[in-house]
Each structure stands twice: as C-alpha cells, then as structure tokens.
Amino acid sequence: MTLAHQAMPDWDGNPTPEAPVTPESLKESGLPSGFICDMLLRTIYTRGTMLGRDLAQLLCLPFKVIREPLKYLKDDKSIQVDGGDLVGEVSYKFSLTDLGRKRAQDAMDQCAYVGPAPVPLEDYVEQCYRQTVSGLQCYPELLKAPFSHLVMQESMFNNIGPAIISGRSVFVFGPPGNGKTAMARAIGDFMNTAGGAIYIPYAFVADGNVVTVYDPSLHVIDDVASEYPDGVDATVGGLMNSGTMDPRWVRIRRPVIVTGGELNLSMLDLRYNADANFYQAPIHFKANGGVFLIDDFGRQQCSPKELLNRWILPLEDRHDFLTVASGKKFQVPFEQLIIFSTNLDPKDLVDDAFLRRIRHKVGVLAPTREVYDKIFAGNCKRLGMNFDLASVDYLYERYYNRGRSPRASDCRDLLEIVQSICRYRRQPVHLTRDLMIEASASFIAEFA
C-alpha cells in the first residue's frame, strides 16, 4: 500500500493519519487481474452497457488500472466496444457478448459483490495500525468540551484521560441512574470529534473472500474541503490525478458503536450472505480505530462468561481472528477502546483473570449532596424552571436520608414530571416544594 507523505490537515486535536494513495498500476492495486476481470463482468452484467470512465468510477480504480483487464476481456471476446468518441478508451461503451454474459453469470455465482474494488487485507491491517486508539493526545483542556454537559467529581474526570490515552479497555460500573452511559458516550464524543479522522476501506479481500467494512449506518464521513474545482467530483478527481487519496477508502471520524442487551455471539462473527457469496464485517470489527461500548453489560443474550471468553485473548494480544465459510481463519486487528458499562456487581460478572485484562476501572457512584444540587440546578435551567432549594431538601428528608440512594437521573425525571403537571393544569412551569412532593410520590414512592 502506498501512503501520502504528509498527514492531511485536521481540527484542533489529534492529527489524521496519512491517507492511502490511488494506485498507479494494476500491481499497486494489490488485486489479481482475474479478480478485476470478474468485477468488471459482474458490473456490466448488473448495470448494462457502461462507459470506461463510469466503470473506473464505480470500481474506484483509475482507468489505467482497469485498461489491461478490459483489453483481456475484449480479446477474449467476453466484452465488445459499442462505440465512443475521440477522447479515447475511457469514453468507449463496453457491453457483454453472449460468452461474456455466461462468464458473468459464473462470476456472480462465485461472488455477487458489485461496488468499489476491495483492498488487500494486508493494506487494511497496515492502515489500521497507523491509526490505533492507543497513544492519542488527551489532556484536561481537550477533554472538557465533550464532558461539559456532565456534572462529576474532579477525581472521576481525571481517571478518564489516562484510560483514553492507553487505548485499553475500560470497565465502568456503579448503581443505575448516575451517568455511566452518559460518561461512556462522552468518551465516544471525544474520540469522534478530537481523535482525528481515520480511513477505512469499503471492503477488503482475503484469500478471494470479499468482506465489506464501511457501514453508512455506523460510520460518519468526515467532510473536508475538496481539493478540486467546483463541479469536479472528488472520486473522479482522485482517479484522474496522481498522489491523491485512494477512493477505495473512506475518510471517517473515529467510530463510536454502541450495543446493549441485543448483543449475542453471532454478531461477533462474519455475516455471510449466502445468496451473494460475500461477507459483512462483524459489529466490533467496524469499531476498529474508535470506541465499542457494551452498555448494560451482563444483560446480553449471551452470558458474560461466554462473551468474555470470546474476547479474553483479543483484549490481551490486540488482534482477533475471523472465520470464513470454508473454515479458514485470518488474523485482523483488534484496535479499539472497549467500554464495558454495567450496574451489576462486577464480582458477579467476571473473574480476576478477566478484570486483570481490563486496565481501567471507573466507579460511578451516587452523587454527593453538592454534586446533586448542581445536577438539579442544571436540569432546572434546561427546562426553563426556577431552582428551588426547598424541593431538594424535601427529597433528602423524605427519601435519601432514609435509605434510598440518590441518583443523578432522579433530577431529570422528577423535574420533567413537575413540568408535565404544570402543563396539564395550564399553569406556568414553576417549581415548588408542593409540586415536588406530588411528583416524587408518583415516581419514587412505589420503588422506595
């Protein structure tokens, strides 16, 4: 894989790694001629007659890379030229012959993938290790922005930075309702906005097996100013100029992928499309270079022990293995910050061997009265409501001093109930002790 000599400019934070460069030849593409021939046949088979430049654009490869495979298919009488103008081969119209249609059907039976040409697995691995999550720049001033909406103790905040810098796994635990998920998502926001962009391929190929990686539902494209004149598509520009970013890759913000109780072991394996004969990368693989948050850990469709046994070696060795339908395995990077968030007792979920592999443990405990007051006041401001200290005093007198542990989420939930009561009665939203008594009676009393 060829890389640009300089990193692309980025926002204030971590620099973006060097971008893969558009291949100048078939050899530099890393793909066999026969593989590209099959892709060309499948593309024309599904799309109909196509111009040379459109084939190049759809495969995200320069025309000079596909020229030789096209010539081979033409000499082999699998495709024919139906016309063109004086611009040259790039403007020729290519269509399938009867022989080419049969060959295309055979190629479709083997693999029906049509789209951007994949990159070799080796190139993906090399790029992945250029944009690891370990060693990112992270200091208090840079970290405060994504945490600005949270009220937390300084000691807890200071524990988060070293965890991010290490790039190792983080175990966030504590009673429900105190901001574990919000904290984990704030870490994700930091990685997403200040962690620098990364590059992932649309797909990669390993031993002839195509595996798609880019997922528009999970990956956020990092928009940068185009280096081409107005009206010139970046993909087209990249295919027409040397030294530009390889359009088989996508520049994205570091991914933040969240899963919860729906997670099961099958989601951690390649998903095989039996009809199309290619694979989709598993959910955690798509988080490489970013954050993978397992929320409500311990409540998944598989037991914690099964999940941890699946990951105990990847967490230690920083690589994983994916298995194709034939049973063959290939090694891939396991380069992500994994966050386990749970409100269950860690001792009931994991053993010492696993806890040892999780470098950072962050306990999110019940807020102190000082912190609670700040959270309460912040929610009052958010809802356009007056802050009433007597209402907070009542909660402590009636509930928190009598055994119920205060929860940060109580502030939001109770005040939103007060807001609903006021709106129902068609009166201005205004917090009073009496309204808090009414709201807490319906929200807390049944569970106290």
Summarised one tens digit per residue, pLDDT across range 116-164 is 999 999 999 999 989 988 878 888 888 888 888 888 777 778 888 888 8
Does residue 182 have a pLDDT over 70? yes
The token pair that represents 174 in the structure block: 């504590």
- d(C-alpha 278, C-alpha 410), whole Å: 48
Q: Nearest-CA neighbor of 255 among 173, 319, 321, 196? A: 196
- Please tell me whether residues 332 and 387 are part of one structural domain: no
Are 281 and 341 within one domain? yes
**How many Å apart are CA 250 and CA 197, to the nearest integer?**
10
Is pLDDT of 238 > 60? no
In terms of domains, do 277 and 309 share one?
A: yes
* Bridge partners, residue 342, by sequence: 173
What's the token pair of residue 21? 């460069």
- Mean pLDDT within 217-226: 78
For 288, the token pair is 């490489």
Is the model's pLDDT at 235 over the cut of 90? no
Q: Are 136 and 195 in contact (CB under 8 A)?
A: yes
Residue 340 has what pLDDT? 87
- Which pLDDT band, with edges at 50, 70 and 90, does 100 fall under? very high
For residue 155, being part of any structural domain is answered with: yes
Please identify, among 60, 95, 117, the residue that sits at the C-terminal boundary of a domain: 117
Assign residue 296 the CATH number of its domain. Answer: 3.40.50.300
Q: Do 189 and 311 reside in the same domain of the chain? A: yes
Give a yes or no: residue 5 inside a domain: no
pLDDT averaged over every residue in the chain: 86
Q: Three-class SS of residue 423?
A: helix
Of 84, 99, 117, the residue that ends a domain is: 117
Residues 201 and 288 both lie in one domain: yes
Residues 112 and 134 reside in one and the same domain: no
Does position 421 have pLDDT exceeding 60, yes or no?
A: yes
Residue 120, beta-bridge partner list: 205
Would residue 3 count as lying in a domain?
no
Helix (H, G, I), strand (E, B) or coil at 161: helix
Same domain as 130, residue 100? no
Number of domains in the chain: 3
pTM: 0.82
pLDDT band at 241 (very low <50, low <70, confident <90, very high): low
Which residues does 255 contact at the CB level (< 8 Å), separation at least 6? 192, 218, 219, 220, 286, 287, 288, 289, 290, 291
Q: How far apart are CA 372 and CA 380, in angstroms?
A: 12
Any idea what the CATH number is for the domain that residue 96 is in? 1.10.10.10
The residue among 214, 332, 210, 220 whose CA lies nearest residue 268 is 332
Distances (CA, A) of 27 to 22, 24, 66, 128: 12, 8, 11, 21
pLDDT digits (tens, 9 = 90+) for 253-312: 999 898 888 888 889 999 998 888 999 999 999 999 998 988 888 888 888 888 888 887
- Give the E-state strand segments of 20-116 in sequence order: 50-51, 79-81, 93-96
Where does 126-232 show beta strands of DSSP type E? Answer: 170-173, 197-201, 203-206, 209-212
Verify that 296 and 437 share a domain, yes or no. Answer: no
For residue 20, is it within any domain? no
Nearest-angstrom CA–CA distance, 371 and 393: 14
Model pLDDT, residue 303: 84
Of residues 399, 377, 379, 400, the one with CA closest to residue 388 = 377
- CB–CB of 349/358 below 8 Å? no
3-class DSSP assignment, residue 197: strand
- My answer on whether 346 and 390 are in the same domain is no
Residues 166 and 235 in one domain: yes
CA distance 291 to 294: 10
Q: Which long-range contacts (CB under 8 A, 24 or more apart) does 441-444 make?
A: 442/417, 443/410, 443/413, 443/414, 443/417, 444/399, 444/404, 444/410, 444/414
The predicted-structure confidence for 276-287, as pLDDT tens digits, reads as follows 899 999 999 999
Both 272 and 405 in one domain: the answer is: no
Q: What is the pLDDT of residue 236?
A: 54
Of 56, 84, 117, the residue that ends a domain is 117
Cα four-point dihedral sign 171, 173, 176, 181:
negative
Tell me, yes or no, whether 84 and 112 share the same domain. yes
Report the distance separating Cα 161 and Cα 171, nearest Å. Answer: 14
- Residue 89's domain comprises 32-117
Token digits for 405? 């542990």
**Residue the block writes with tokens 């060959």:** 103
Residue 441 included in any domain: yes
Tell me whether residue 233 is in a domain: yes
Q: Is 439 helix (H, G, I), strand (E, B) or coil?
A: helix
Angstrom distance (rounded) from CA 275 to CA 371 = 56
Task: Examine residue 295 and state whether it is found in any structural domain, yes or no.
Answer: yes
Q: What are phi and psi of 429, to 5 degrees?
A: -70, 115
Question: Residue 418 domain-assigned?
Answer: yes
| Contact between 224 and 8 (Cβ < 8 Å) | yes
- Range of weakest confidence among 47-56, 177-186, 227-236: 227-236
Q: Which of residues 436 and 175 earns the better pLDDT score?
A: 436
